Amino acid sequence: MLSREVMGALALAILWVNTWLIAAATYTQRKALAELLRGLRVARGRVDSGSGPSGELATFEVKQVGRLVEGNAPAIAFHDQAHTSRIFGGRVALHEGNYADVPASDHGEVWIDEASFREAAALPGESVFDAAAGEAKKARGFGHLVVTPVRSGHEVFLGALSAGKPEECPLVATLDPRVWLRRKMAFAWSFILGELLVAGACTAACLRPPAFGASSMVGAGASLAFFLLVQPAGAWVRGFLVVPSKAIRRGTWTRRGAAEDRASTRAANSTQSERG
């Protein structure tokens, strides 16, 4: 049977292997973002015209499925199934004073800021919710397509992504891709360093003499907690570092009318009880 010392050493080895694997995965994502940033040239302007069906320069589409969630207020929770970037082409008035013609592309990327996507995905009305709720109750769920357009008058950033691709990938963004990439890269470094520092602190506490004393056992408990928490944290970071054209968006529709009716009913019942 293994001694406590050997079992403790094995536990620390497992802790550090897991820590380095998560750090390596985060570093790989950061490296990919750095390659996108390297050589990226961006032009900023305002959409003058677009060649899309309704005059769009581009659209970002997310195919989702919604499931009904019962609670105080009925809600439909959405989960992503597919992401599609469409660049129809058009003309952009650049801030430098000239115009840029944007060609149509089937392999480009459209990066949409979160506020614009939320606006496009918002519940259009209670009647729409009622119609969707019946499908959302079924096993297949309610199919929903969120289309976020980039239309005339919208502020855009134009560029091209080429990292890991055989040819340049046109980019249309409603956010500054350089700022987005730098922030994500800085966050990745912070997470890697923070993860290693916490793992190091836990290890130092475990190795503090006397062996299996009070400090050592506190370190062991902290190491176990860190081991359990760092894995979901690493999974969250992986999703956080995904580029906007592929990031999971999700979303929820809540039937606010029903919630307000129930709140009014509870308030009326409470008032009648007090009078009684």
pLDDT digits (tens, 9 = 90+) for 170-220: 999 999 999 999 999 999 999 999 999 999 999 999 988 887 778 888 989
User: Is 205 within 8 Å of 222 (Cβ atoms)?
Assistant: yes
> What is the average pLDDT value for the chain, to the nearest integer?
88
Q: Using 50, 70 and 90 to split pLDDT, how confident is the model at 263?
A: very low
Query: Alpha helices of the chain — where are they, by DSSP H?
Result: 4-37, 114-121, 126-137, 177-206, 214-240, 256-275
User: Is 248 within 8 Å of 236 (Cβ atoms)?
Assistant: no
Q: Return the structure tokens found at 85.
A: 């970037």
Distance between CA atoms of residues 135 and 54, nearest Å: 29
Could you identify the residue written with the tokens 């899309």?
52
- Between 188 and 124, name the one with better pLDDT: 188
Question: Terminal CA-to-CA distance of the chain, rounded, Å?
Answer: 73
- Residue 125, pLDDT > 60, answer yes
The predicted structure's pLDDT at residue 72: 77
R_g of the chain computed on alpha carbons: 26
Q: Which of the 8 DSSP states describes residue 52?
A: S
The predicted structure's pLDDT at residue 97: 84
Per-residue pLDDT averaged across 14-41, rounded?
94
Per-residue pLDDT averaged across 97-123, rounded?
93
- Residue 146, pLDDT > 50, answer yes
Give tens-digit pLDDT for 219-255.
Answer: 899 999 999 999 999 999 999 999 999 999 999 999 8
- Between 14 and 208, name the one with better pLDDT: 14
Distance between CA atoms of residues 250 and 248, nearest Å: 6
Cis peptide before 210 (omega within 30 of 0): yes
Distance between CA atoms of residues 8 and 195, nearest Å: 20
Per-residue pLDDT averaged across 30-56, rounded?
93
pTM of the model as a whole = 0.83
Q: Using 50, 70 and 90 to split pLDDT, how confident is the model at 273?
A: very low
Q: Return the structure tokens found at 159.
A: 């560029």
Per-residue pLDDT averaged across 79-89, rounded?
96
Q: Return the structure tokens found at 189.
A: 């470094």
Q: Return the structure tokens found at 267.
A: 């308030």
Distance between CA atoms of residues 80 and 63, nearest Å: 6
Distance between CA atoms of residues 64 and 132, nearest Å: 13
Per-residue pLDDT averaged across 106-123, rounded?
93
Q: Return the structure tokens found at 168.
A: 């340049």
Distance between CA atoms of residues 118 and 101, nearest Å: 28
- Between 164 and 180, name the one with better pLDDT: 180
3-state DSSP assignment of residue 24:
helix
- Between 270 and 53, name the one with better pLDDT: 53
- Residue 169, pLDDT > 90, answer no
